[in-house]
Amino acid sequence: MDHLKSIVHSLDVEDYKEFKIFLNRSRKKSSRKDLDLFLLLQEEKEYSRDELLLILYPEDKNLEAYHATRKRLIKQLNEFIYLQRIKRDSTRIAQITSNISLCEHLFEKKKEETAWHYVQKTEELATKGEHYGLLNQLYRLAILYSLTEGAPPFQDLLNKKQVAEKYLLQEEKAEIANILIRNQLNESLSKGEDIDIERLVQKTLRTYNLDKVAKTNPKMVLNIIEIARTIVLAKKDFFSFEPYIINQYNELEQNNLFNAYNHEIKVKILYMITHVLYRNRKWKEALRFASLLQESMQAYKQKCERQYFQKYHLLVAGIYTYSGEVNKGITLLETAIKHKYASLDTTQNLNTYINLAIYYFFKKSYNQPLILFRDINHTDKWYTKTMGQEWLLKKQILEVMNHYELGNTDYVENRIKAIKRAHKGLFNRAPYDRALSFLNLLNRLNNKPFLATTPEFHDLVEKSFDFLPKEMEDLQAMTFYAWIKAKMFNKDYYDTLVELANN
């Protein structure tokens, strides 16, 4: 694997543009080769070393110059990424790290008064952000220069360092506890066992004497919520997760534990609450929390808006669409897809495209989704690597459904066969077996559309969709089932879907 290419592909679209400007800032002749190499590595095509040599140094295939160019490009990328992290870092970690380096530099140059000024500023930042590892570094540096002019009392520094070490040890124990919880949950998942998340979490926290600390530490609460959510997403058991996460949020809010320095934690939890309410089809509650989410995104000089812009629009568009207001959903996503933030996150950008395509399908605009997919034309291998196999399957099924409605019978039949071959392993696992059932039903209708209204087909549908109890039905599975049901009773698809989703 070419690790330099991997670094290049870790940048988003906006970073690509900014890095080109960054590379050209010095206007040296050598930077031209850096940029040429960067542009080649940015492509999806995998170039061999000999191919790169031929393109960059066609006259002499200078291997030494090529390696020098790679080293320069890696150095430039490191510097650029570091500066970008400082600019975007809402937790101030990069700024604190930079300040500690500045303090060390000032002490070494005998600029003690200025050095102690920045020690104090950095201490305030790190304390408010609860960055105890960085505080420990800062106090170690301060103790080293505690005999210089302007230093605070040595004992004060020592006491502060001991407090920071105590909290740092707590953080380390919390990290171990989180990993232990995650490993046990993953093990249970792989065996198909049911597990009481709350019980496991509390038992592990007690083992590490963290049960009391966890209630007053937003970062630790978020870590535990994220672990639980991983299991929820895998099992699609959103109903048991809803009261748990709302209770955790309310406790933090009522105890005034959110502030400017951990604000991103609040935004992340509000997003997860809104999402779980959406998946549980509680539209009014979901919109209420979406409003709180939007307010929080705008707070503290909109520090979280860039990161959550597309996620917010996707979620609210889904709430509107499944509650019967698809036009509002489409308008939101059409706005989001043209926004300056649209290119910043490849995953969310592609999710915006596929959700907009689904909503167009609800409106019977069958050509629109196919036009959208042409705009994001990549290989199936690329989609699987970037978005995962489930996302690719959903896109492929949606394409087939559009072609069915457009009357492209031969295409539908051949494409269904190809999808079955490509995802054979996935279809053997629940809940993806439902997708296979849907494809089989779609194939029957493709060959004989008149079957849809017959009693035999109705019986086949009931056997094919072995749903969980009514309140536990998965919203995405329902989207496909509603299309089949609309065909069975000769009803409008979107009306049928909204009726099911709001039952």
pLDDT digits (tens, 9 = 90+) for 157-215: 999 999 999 888 888 887 787 788 778 776 776 666 666 666 777 777 788 777 777 77
Report the pLDDT value the prediction gives residue 31, as an integer from 0 to 100: 54
Work out whether the CA dihedral 356, 361, 365, 369 comes out positive or negative.
positive
CA–CA dist 234, 252 (Å, integer): 26
| Domain around 348 | 304-377
Q: 155: burial class by Cβ within 10 Å (0-12, 13-18, 19+)?
A: exposed
| Residues 500 and 445 reside in one and the same domain | yes
| Residues 500 and 387 reside in one and the same domain | yes
Q: Find, among 133, 195, 196, the residue nearest to 167 by Cα.
A: 133
Residue 61, number of CB atoms within 10 A of its CB: 13
Residue finishing a domain among 348, 377, 406? 377
CA distances from 86 to 6, 73, 90, 98, 99 (A): 21, 20, 9, 9, 11
- Is 383 inside any structural domain? yes
- Is 285 inside any structural domain? no
CA–CA dist 446, 375 (Å, integer): 27
Report the pLDDT value the prediction gives residue 468, as an integer from 0 to 100: 44
Cα angle for residues 174, 178, 179 (degrees, 5° grid): 120
pLDDT at 322 over 70: yes
CATH number of the CATH domain containing 317: 1.25.40
3-state secondary structure of 337: helix
| Residues 385 and 368 reside in one and the same domain | no
| Residues 319 and 253 reside in one and the same domain | no
| Residues 126 and 190 reside in one and the same domain | no
Least confident of 50-59, 92-101, 212-221, 392-401: 212-221
- Is 216 inside any structural domain? yes
Residue-wise DSSP of 246-295? HHHHHHHHHTT---TTSHHHHHHHHHHHHHHHHHTT-HHHHHHHHHHHHH
- Is 93 inside any structural domain? no
Report the pLDDT value the prediction gives residue 232, as an integer from 0 to 100: 74
pLDDT in tens, 292-310: 999 999 998 887 888 899 9
- Is 493 inside any structural domain? yes
The pairs formed by 388-391 with CB atoms below 8 angstroms and a separation of 24 or more are 389/423, 389/426, 390/426, 390/432, 391/350, 391/351, 391/354
- Is 288 inside any structural domain? no
Report the pLDDT value the prediction gives residue 473, as an integer from 0 to 100: 55
Report the pLDDT value the prediction gives residue 289, as an integer from 0 to 100: 97
Report the pLDDT value the prediction gives residue 472, as an integer from 0 to 100: 43
Q: Find, among 117, 118, 113, 125, the residue nearest to 102 by Cα.
A: 118
| Residues 131 and 212 reside in one and the same domain | no
Mean pLDDT, residues 80-96: 75
Residue 268, number of CB atoms within 10 A of its CB: 19
| Residues 372 and 398 reside in one and the same domain | no
pLDDT at 312 over 50: yes
3-state secondary structure of 241: helix
| Residues 385 and 443 reside in one and the same domain | yes
pLDDT at 341 over 50: yes
CA–CA dist 269, 279 (Å, integer): 15
pLDDT in tens, 35-68: 888 888 888 778 888 888 888 888 887 888 888 9
The pairs formed by 203-207 with CB atoms below 8 angstroms and a separation of 24 or more are 204/177, 204/180, 205/177, 207/177
- Is 33 inside any structural domain? yes
Report the pLDDT value the prediction gives residue 476, as an integer from 0 to 100: 76
| Residues 355 and 425 reside in one and the same domain | no
- Is 472 inside any structural domain? yes
pLDDT in tens, 417-476: 999 999 988 888 777 788 888 999 999 999 899 999 999 998 888 877 765 444 445 677
Mean pLDDT, residues 385-390: 86
Residue finishing a domain among 351, 377, 403? 377
| Residues 365 and 421 reside in one and the same domain | no
Give the count of domains, the chain.
5
Mean pLDDT, residues 371-394: 87
| Residues 181 and 222 reside in one and the same domain | yes
Asked if residue 263 lies in contact with residue 304, where contact means CB atoms within 8 angstroms, the answer is yes
pLDDT at 2 over 80: no
Work out whether the CA dihedral 175, 179, 184, 185 comes out positive or negative.
positive
* Size of the chain, expressed as the number of residues it contains: 503
| Residues 365 and 384 reside in one and the same domain | no
First to last CA, the chain: 51
Least confident of 10-14, 158-162, 219-223: 10-14
Residue finishing a domain among 317, 349, 377? 377
